[in-house]
Amino acid sequence: MRIVVSGGGTGGHIYPALAMIREIERRTTCEVLYIGTENGLEADIVRRAGIPFEAIEISGLRRSLSFENVKTGVRFVKSVVRVRKLLRQFKPDIVVGTGGFVCGPVLYTAAKMGYKTVVHEQNSLPGITNKFLARYVDRVALSFKGSGHYFGKNEAKTMLIGNPRASEVAILEIDPVEERKKYGFEEGRPLIVVYGGSRGAPAINQAVVEMIPKLTETDWSLLFVTGQVHYEQIKNQLGELPERIQLRPFIYDLPLILKASQLVVSRSGASTLAELTTLGLPSVLIPSPYVTENHQEVNASSLVETGASLLIRENELTGDRLFAACAKAIAEQKAMSQASLALGMPDAASDLVDELLRLIEQKN
Ligand SMILES: CC(=O)N[C@H]1[C@@H](OP(=O)(O)OP(=O)(O)OC[C@H]2O[C@@H](n3ccc(=O)[nH]c3=O)[C@H](O)[C@@H]2O)O[C@H](CO)[C@@H](O)[C@@H]1O
């Protein structure tokens, strides 16, 4: 199988793509070409994963009237020309997009050239690129029940799949004691992992800094992942830390330590939620208020309603509130964990690959 994959900007669009690629590789021989941008996290994460990578130059549309949109239009046209060339050379059986604006020219060009095309939507409220592409592609794979109607007259192309990253996390086999040991954590303490999505979140980082002095009242261990660009500042702010608090800029194999933890504090990006529910992890969620149509709060709602997560809005976030929420979640760990597990969709990767194979077969 020959597949072109595109998706990027943030980890939430990249990790589902990598999980899908790994599932294809597990089932059949395949050649992959990943098309992303040099500015997105994909340039680092995809290359690190050893997957052939080509970059195009494209930016996102601004919602307000702006000259930048004219520049984006020009970049889009140039990208179409470049993508056409890449596709002609590579000759894929199928082209899959996992969101982020880089998918726009890639999937649009592929569909116009007559290739089989699929987009995967991670969020409960679809992004503008996927809404635009729905008109052209063969299939729209969804992660949340009930979000098909956002695609209007293209709803018939939608199919509930879940998030492939969940499947990858579900089959991980780890020794939790060994995983915790890798970070130097002592046994017998509940481990809390904090991260603000793939890029880090200053508001969460600040609340954690405020909460840290209170940890002396508890037996918790804390893995505090700041996000690459915020690391130095937080490190300087915190100075020397006891062994049970570990600070990291980014963790490339995050699911391993998630599986060995008792509680997660994070944004409510879609891939994060897929991971948490597959692992049955309780969480304290602080949705990003800076995303389109507040979609992270919508993502979080099913977890909050069923008791899998506690929610703190960013404008109400303080160190004290975060500390209180963590204490409550640790106390109610068992019930929250069961509620979380009940929402997991661990078969997403194989269901998505089944659908890709069906589409390719239709073509032949
Ligand atoms: C600000 C923004 O636009 N956020 C969007 C972006 O978020 P973002 O990329 O932050 O979103 P997600 O939470 O979905 O995914 C983060 C991914 O990065 C991984 N990770 C994170 C930290 C780390 O140190 N190591 C690591 O591997 C997590 O395991 C997870 O797989 O894409 C998501 C999926 O479309 C959306 O729901 C989010 O709203």
Residue 163, annotated ligand binder? Answer: no
Q: Cα separations (Å) of 94 from 57, 106, 351, 355, 357? A: 22, 12, 16, 11, 9
The pTM assigned to this predicted structure is 0.89
* Residue 123 marked as a ligand binder: yes
Which residue, judged by its Cα, is nearest atom 8 of ligand 1? 12
Confidence of residue 63 (pLDDT cuts 50, 70, 90): low
State percent of the chain over pLDDT 70: 99
Q: To test the ligand 1 pocket, which listed residue (6, 10, 292) has its Cβ within 8 A of the most ligand atoms?
A: 10
Output the average pLDDT for the chain: 95
Residue whose Cα lies nearest atom 19 of ligand 1: it is 198
Q: Is 12 annotated as a binding residue?
A: yes
Question: If you average pLDDT over residues 141-162, what whole number do you get?
Answer: 95
Two tokens, residue 129: 């690129």
d(CA 78, CA 90): 19
**CATH code for 2-163+346-363?**
3.40.50.2000
In sequence order, which residues have a C-beta less than 8 Å from that of residue 263 and are 6 or more positions away? Answer: 190, 191, 192, 193, 281, 282, 283, 284, 326, 329, 330, 333
As given in the structure block, the two tokens for residue 173 are 């086999």
Least confident of 65-69, 236-240, 243-247: 65-69
Which residue type, as a one-letter code, is found at position 181? K
281: pLDDT strictly greater than 80: yes
Per-residue pLDDT at 363: 78
Protein residue with least CA distance to atom 15, ligand 1: 12
Assess whether pLDDT exceeds 90 at residue 220: yes
Query: Mean pLDDT over residues 16-37, rounded?
Result: 96
Ligand 1: atom nearest CA of 227 is 24
41-52: pLDDT as tens digits:
999 999 999 999
Distance 77 CA to ligand 1 centre (A): 29
Ligand 1 center from residue 315 Cα (angstroms): 21
| Lowest-confidence pick of 20-29, 52-61, 184-193 | 52-61
Tokens 């020959």 found at: 2
Quick one: which H or E segment has residue 221? Answer: strand 221-225
pLDDT of residue 65: 66
| Cα 182 to averaged position of ligand 1 atoms, centre (Å) | 23
- Tell me the CA distances in angstroms from 118 to 5, 137, 267, 269, 352, one per residue in order: 10, 6, 27, 21, 10
Q: Does the annotation flag 114 for ligand binding?
A: no
CA of 272 to the centre of ligand 1 (A): 6
Taking Cα atoms as reference points, which of 134, 138, 137 lies closest to residue 153? 134
* Separation in Å, CA 234 to CA 66, 111, 229, 240, 270: 35, 45, 10, 11, 26
* Ligand 1 pocket, CB under 6 A: 10-13, 15, 99, 122-123, 165, 195, 197-199, 225, 250-251, 254, 267, 269-272, 275, 288, 291, 295-296, 299
171-342: CATH, from 3.20.20.140, 3.40.50.300, 3.40.50.2000, 3.40.630.30: 3.40.50.2000
E-only strand ranges, 81-154: 94-97, 116-121, 139-142
Q: Return the domain boundaries, the chain.
A: 2-163+346-363, 171-342
CB atoms within 10 A of CB 96: 30
The alpha carbon of 13 and the centre of ligand 1 are apart by a number of angstroms equal to: 7
- CATH fold match for the domains 2-163+346-363 and 171-342: yes
Specify the residue for token string 């804390």: 222
